């Protein structure tokens, strides 16, 4: 099942998410639906709050970047209850976008490596260091489960420039090639 993507302006995107319990019976379905949703919208990552689920989990598919760099080997997997242990390496800027904030792209600086502990889909504990575009996508998705969006990392000046666009998105006045759900205060 493809979930609609929650748009900028939805309070679910601003909440800190809750731990995923290993006895969550819906988890297998949520994971498979989220992969389907990410693929349908051609995303390189998707965090649970983006589909209205307030849980600490996200998935990535950085294999999309293999075509830009033949030496790069991407990852496609889910991360449950991830914790960033440390971010190291030099900061580098990359123009990021987000399925919840369509048509907005801005340079964001992030550290080159991220050390992450997490659980896989079988709740097996893992700790790994990621780099390149995989680290970048993990850092972006990790922000989501903390209620942070990539536009929070840009300068106040740049945010001012996109303010009108953000308001349009929040109101649903945008054309998108995938299914979205816009927040209504009613």
Contact residues for Co ion, defined by CB under 5 A = 98
- Cβ burial of 170 (10 Å; 0-12, 13-18, 19+) is middle
- Rank residues 12 and 98 by Cβ distance to Co ion and give the closer one: 98
CB of 92 to Co ion, least distance (A): 18
Would you call 90 a catalytic residue per the annotation? no
- Rank residues 7 and 98 by Cβ distance to Co ion and give the closer one: 98
CB of 115 to Co ion, least distance (A): 21
Q: Which of 16, 87, 141, 146 is catalytic?
A: 141
CB of 13 to Co ion, least distance (A): 9
- Asked if 124 and 77 touch (Cβ cutoff 8 Å), the reply is no
- Asked if 144 and 84 touch (Cβ cutoff 8 Å), the reply is no
- Rank residues 98 and 108 by Cβ distance to Co ion and give the closer one: 98
CA nearest to 110, candidates 88, 127, 129, 141: 88
CA–CA dist 24, 20 (Å, integer): 7
- Asked if 181 and 7 touch (Cβ cutoff 8 Å), the reply is yes
Residue whose C-beta lies closest to Co ion:
98
Residue positions annotated with a catalytic role: 141
């Amino acid at each position: 099942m493809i979930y609609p993507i929650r748009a900028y302006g939805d309070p679910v995107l601003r909440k800190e998410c809750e731990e995923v319990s290993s006895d969550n019976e819906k988890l297998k379905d949520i994971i498979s639906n989220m992969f389907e949703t990410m693929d349908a919208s051609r995303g390189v990552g998707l965090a649970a709050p983006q589909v209205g689920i307030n849980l600490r989990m996200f998935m990535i598919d950085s294999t999309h970047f293999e075509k830009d760099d033949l030496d790069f080997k991407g990852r496609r997997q889910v991360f449950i209850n991830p914790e960033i242990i440390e971010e190291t390496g030099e900061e580098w800027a990359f123009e990021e976008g987000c399925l919840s904030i369509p048509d907005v792209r801005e340079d964001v600086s992030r550290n080159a490596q991220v050390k992450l502990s997490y659980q896989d889909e079988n709740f097996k504990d893992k700790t790994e260091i990621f780099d390149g575009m995989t680290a970048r996508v993990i850092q972006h998705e990790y922000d989501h489960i903390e209620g942070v969006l990539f536009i929070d990392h840009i300068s106040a000046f740049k945010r001012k420039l996109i303010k009108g666009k953000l308001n349009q998105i929040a109101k649903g006045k945008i054309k998108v090639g995938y299914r979205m759900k816009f927040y209504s205060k009613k």
